[in-house]
A and B are shown apart, each in its own frame.
Chain A
Amino acid sequence: MNGLNYDTNDGIVLHFYQHAVFGLAHDIPRFRQGKNWVEQSGDLGLWMIENLPTKAWRLMKEPRWITLVLTQMALIGMTCLFYPKQLVLYAKIFVEKCPLPTRETVKFAAYLTIVAHIISAALRAYGRFRNDALMDAWYTG
């Protein structure tokens, strides 16, 4: 099986796209080729954006989680119905007392996260490109 139907006559844009798919795709046909440690470390770094949404979605469908959320919603809803002013007051106090991160901290954390993911993607791509057996199988079929 040829992964991308690679043709040397194709244009540079298509080649770049094919290399990008090979290097960055979450899952590619392995042709019985294992992963080297570089690719594995890249996978680890990309776990959060690739697997976390699936895990979170699975958790959201978990009946016990649904029970907890629904109970909380019902309790807060009832409080809102009976004591709306007090609820707003305590919510404001909670937000004021809650140690929220500063804007700079959020910005820096976002920057670090993005850089870490870029490095992880690069590691995965490099790991795959240096895997000669996988490269041969992928491009020549």
Chain B
Amino acid sequence: MISFLTPTGFNSFSEYWHFASAREFRDIDQHQRVIYAKTRLERLGDLLVYPFMKIVDHAMQNIRNPLVIISITLTAIVAVTILFYPEEFMRVIARAIPMADQIKPWMIKAALYTALETTIVGIGLRTFGRLNPSGDLWRLWAPVPREIIPIVIGTQIV
């Protein structure tokens, strides 16, 4: 249990990071998910990070599943291949899927860049929304001793 807090509401950067990246919050006593009215910014941020968070959360929750391990491995191999041999990779893909020939490497780069930037903006907006002092979440988070805990992405609740 946290006995004291700095005026900022966090004791360390790690705690701040857990708060910012939390998938959800749970009540310590009741062991239930905390339902609170999200601020507009948090909802917008949630929307932006949804695709990324959903995939990562699902993969992390099923990390012991062999299929998930295989798909993560394949994704990593493809990513490294694109990084080292983008043109050769596209040539091989184009042979298998003719339509893929129309996709240029800069398109993939731009798409990846846009996706990552959108996710970063989403995380920023969501965190900013969560930190709203008049928001419901902050009212639950700020009191000491704290009654809610952040649940990290990928955590399985049993």
Contacts and interface: CB of A to CB of B under 8 A. Distances in A.
A68 to B, nearest CB: 7
B113 A71 contact: no
Contacts of B20: 67
A71 B131 contact: no
Given A61-B8, A63-B16, A78 B120 contact: yes
A67 B8 contact: no
B123 A71 contact: yes
A111 interface: no
Interface residues of B, number: 18
Contacts of B124: 67-68, 70-71, 74
A103 interface: no
Chain A contact patch, size range: 10 to 19
Given A61-B8, A78-B113, A83-B113, A66 B120 contact: no
A16 interface: no
Contact of B113 (A62, A68, A82): A82
Contacts of A83: 113
Interface in B1-16: 6, 8-10, 16
B16 A71 contact: no
Interface in B61-94: none
A55 to B, nearest CB: 13
Interface in A10-64: 61-64
Nearest to B126: A67
Residue of B10, B124, B128 ringed by the most chain A CB atoms within 10 A = B124
B13 to A, nearest CB: 8
Contact of A66 (B16, B112, B113, B116): B16
